[in-house]
Amino acid sequence: MNAPTPRENLQGLDLLAEIKRLKKERNAVILAHYYQKPEIQDLADFVGDSLELSKRAAETDADVIAFCGVKFMAETAKILSPQKTVILPDMAAGCSLEDACPPGKFKAFREAHPDHIALTYINCSAEVKALSDIIVTSSSAETILSKIPPEQKIIFGPDRHLGGYLSRKFNREMLLWPGVCIVHEAFSETELLKLKAQHPGVPVAAHPECPPHIIDHADYVGSTSGILQYAQTIKGDTLIVATEPHIIHQMEKAEPTKTFIGAPGADGNCACNICPYMALNTMEKLYLALRDLQPQIHLDETVRLAAKKSLDRMLEMASGTVGKGDLGRA
């Protein structure tokens, strides 16, 4: 996916200074996910994983939330803070998991399984959140699942790899929606094994959106925040990282003497593990979004209120899990 060129020629503009000026003028807060470009991570007020970003969005007293992430994240901010203006630098910044789960099909699936509750990964549309019972993120999923009685039947969507990972770890059957993250799906087991052979004894940290043939080689499995924390606790000086490689920017800032190697895709050095949706956000588009307060997230109020219920359940049930990398295994 190629990023569309900005609408205007902004050459000669000091974008960083302009973004800072507009941020003040608008009383805006800039939230960024770890998969954003380094220059965006560096100017953000807060960088975090999906759960931490949701909490920040719910708590901020800014008038404007500039969300440097993807659409479902900006929608989550709007669901939790409806009185605020939420802008996303590029409205085309979607997610393959959201695309894999159209609300109409999800509703029909739920109706076909009336004795199941829907435990739904936050990477989905506001409409799918509204059709769900409890939302989870990769850092809250395990805590939340452990609080659901064992006899309760569960639909888990839309990430079949995260669902499968939880199902195996908890030895608990769940009906899995067949969505995948195109980024984590792209890691190659063959190339990972070659890399491990070149770096004997070096641990692998993987995100649970990875397929089982990658997870099986991981020493640690967790959310982006969990992986970042793991990077700071390893005894050695090198780590293989099986998630979107822009997170390495924070690892290098926290641990400048350590080496972080991105896990390879199919041909060993393709850019297929870079999230094409996250990459749509640029400094230019962030500047324009703050200047024009566009593109802006708008939600139907009925959908928002129903989606808020399932998100609030997550925030209640997940309390205490932020930043603990709950999915981690030693």
Q: Which residues here bind ligand SF4, judged by CB under 6 A?
A: 35, 70, 95-97, 123, 181-183, 209, 244, 275, 277-278
Residues facing residue 153 across a β-bridge: 116
Beta carbons of 48 and 98 less than 8 angstroms apart:
no
194 backbone dihedrals φ, ψ, rounded to 5°: -65, -45
DSSP string, 258-324: SEEEEPPBTTSS-STTS-TTGGG--HHHHHHHHHHT-SB----HHHHHHHHHHHHHHHHHTTT-TTS
Token pair 């003040």: residue: 24
81 binds, among ligand 13P, ligand SF4, none (CB under 5 to 8 A by kind): none
Query: Where does the chain show beta strands of DSSP type E?
Result: 28-33, 46-48, 64-68, 85-87, 116-121, 134-136, 153-157, 175-176, 204-206, 220-221, 238-242, 259-262
Nearer to ligand 13P by Cβ, of 142 and 209: the residue is 209
138 binds, among ligand SF4, ligand 13P, none (CB under 5 to 8 A by kind): ligand 13P
289 binds, among ligand 13P, ligand SF4, none (CB under 5 to 8 A by kind): none
188 binds, among ligand 13P, ligand SF4, none (CB under 5 to 8 A by kind): none
Binding residues (CB under 6 A) for ligand 13P: these are: 49-50, 123, 137-139, 181, 207, 209, 223-224
Closest CA to 313 of 172, 163, 120: 120
Nearer to ligand SF4 by Cβ, of 74 and 290: the residue is 74
Please tell me the number of Cα atoms within 13 Å of 118 on its side-chain side.
Answer: 29
Instruction: Please state the closest distance from residue 72 (CB atom) to ligand 13P, in A.
Output: 8
Nearer to ligand SF4 by Cβ, of 47 and 278: the residue is 278
182 binds, among ligand 13P, ligand SF4, none (CB under 5 to 8 A by kind): ligand SF4
Nearer to ligand 13P by Cβ, of 74 and 181: the residue is 181
Instruction: Please state the closest distance from residue 308 (CB atom) to ligand SF4, in A.
Output: 22
50 binds, among ligand 13P, ligand SF4, none (CB under 5 to 8 A by kind): ligand 13P
Q: Is 215 helix (H, G, I), strand (E, B) or coil?
A: helix
Task: State the amino acid at position 173 in one-letter form.
Answer: E
Instruction: Please state the closest distance from residue 195 (CB atom) to ligand SF4, in A.
Output: 20
Nearer to ligand SF4 by Cβ, of 22 and 263: the residue is 263
Instruction: Please state the closest distance from residue 184 (CB atom) to ligand SF4, in A.
Output: 6
Nearer to ligand 13P by Cβ, of 19 and 137: the residue is 137
137 binds, among ligand 13P, ligand SF4, none (CB under 5 to 8 A by kind): ligand 13P
Instruction: Please state the closest distance from residue 123 (CB atom) to ligand 13P, in A.
Output: 5
Nearer to ligand 13P by Cβ, of 127 and 209: the residue is 209
How far are the Cα atoms of 106, 132, 153, 206 from residue 117, in angstroms, in the given order?
12, 8, 6, 28
Report how far apart the first and last C-alpha atoms of the chain are (Å, whole number). Answer: 37
158 backbone dihedrals φ, ψ, rounded to 5°: -95, 10
- Which two three-digit tokens encode residue 184? 């984590």
Task: State the amino acid at position 155 in one-letter form.
Answer: I
Instruction: Please state the closest distance from residue 85 (CB atom) to ligand SF4, in A.
Output: 23
